[in-house]
Structure 1
């Protein structure tokens, strides 16, 4: 069996940096919106475009602070990990299999949390939060990419053939979310 760990995963590293930076920026923007709403409860968030596309309803809901503090704080802390791992990979770092599975567990939690938040946003709150959707958009492919890499680094032969399909897996997931949102919220009527 070839040592797949000797190959530097440059594309994954670049994605982790870019996706992590985008996710961190979305979390930062949501955190700033939350601060503004806390400072002035009558304020209107800059990401409130309509009753359907807005941040305020999501930020002020119970789902917006499910662990007792605003969810964007999770993103501020969490998105640092992919950025650091990406830069470490570009610098030539090699991580053990256990590290990749621990890193995968973090991305799996993020993916599951995002799926739950999508469900809450669409079915319970009836809104689409723009900054939340940015977070969803980077969490989904990050999860798929890290999953494929963790399988590959563990010696699963077919994982290498699955890697080129990561973008399509993400696009299909986006499509499912868009269809569910359209059926439930009729979001295309906003345009």
Structure 2
């Protein structure tokens, strides 16, 4: 039992599961991008309706912010999360600076996802199915990582702070649900049609 607490098996398993789901979503978006490049008139499998589609997202400038399709970021980024998850389950110990870098990467990914959510609702007025799947795993991954960095001593060396963060881990599912509720509210603000489509999608 002591070894399991030290290794934080639950957190590692979550990173593995989230990375597999996130990578799969990024892979599907990448394939759809290839299809649209080969045939701009092709009907993509993710285009379920006028509002629920990924075509508009992939063809927009927001879909290639850094000069290449955003899904490529997901393909590489989620692999890093997978490797970290396996390492955590295996009990590999990383120095404090390494965990700090991992936290910065997760925070940057979360900020990018938050920006994309805003752009999707208020600029593109669409709901991307594969993007939505990414949101579902990215948000809990960010929250659990912040809490984990607090309990493993990355954010503070004080034992009391680490113990407090350790107790917070049990609340991350609820925090994730609240974040999802915020997304629903954003969809409502973007328009009634979007909120209806969002509820049908999830």
Q: Distance in 2 between the 1:123 and 1:179 partners?
A: 12
User: Aligned match of 2:172 in 141, 153, 166?
Assistant: 166
**1:152–1:159 CA contact under 8 A, matched in 2:** yes
Q: Distance in 2 between the 1:49 and 1:162 partners?
A: 38
Where do 4+ consecutive residues of structure 1 move more than 6 Å?
A: none
The residue aligned with 1:152 is 151
The residue aligned with 1:47 is 46
Q: Distance in 1 between the 2:12 and 2:196 partners?
A: 39
The residue aligned with 2:122 is 123
The residue aligned with 2:142 is 143
Which consecutive residues of structure 1, in runs of 5 or more, have no partner in the other structure?
Answer: 1-5
The residue aligned with 1:80 is 79
C-alpha displacement of 1:96: 1.6
Decide which moves more: 145-154 or 107-116.
Answer: 145-154
Which consecutive residues of structure 2, in runs of 5 or more, have no partner in the other structure?
Answer: none
1:75-114 equivalent positions in 2, closer than 5 A? 75-114=74-113
Q: Distance in 2 between the 1:110 and 1:36 partners?
A: 26
**1:53–1:129 CA contact under 8 A, matched in 2:** yes
The residue aligned with 1:3 is none
State the Cα RMSD in Å: 1.6
Q: Distance in 1 between the 2:180 and 2:110 partners?
A: 13
Q: Deviations over 1:45-73 (max 9, x none)?
A: 10111111100000000000000000000
Q: Deviations over 1:62-102 (max 9, x none)?
A: 00000000000000000001110111111221112211111
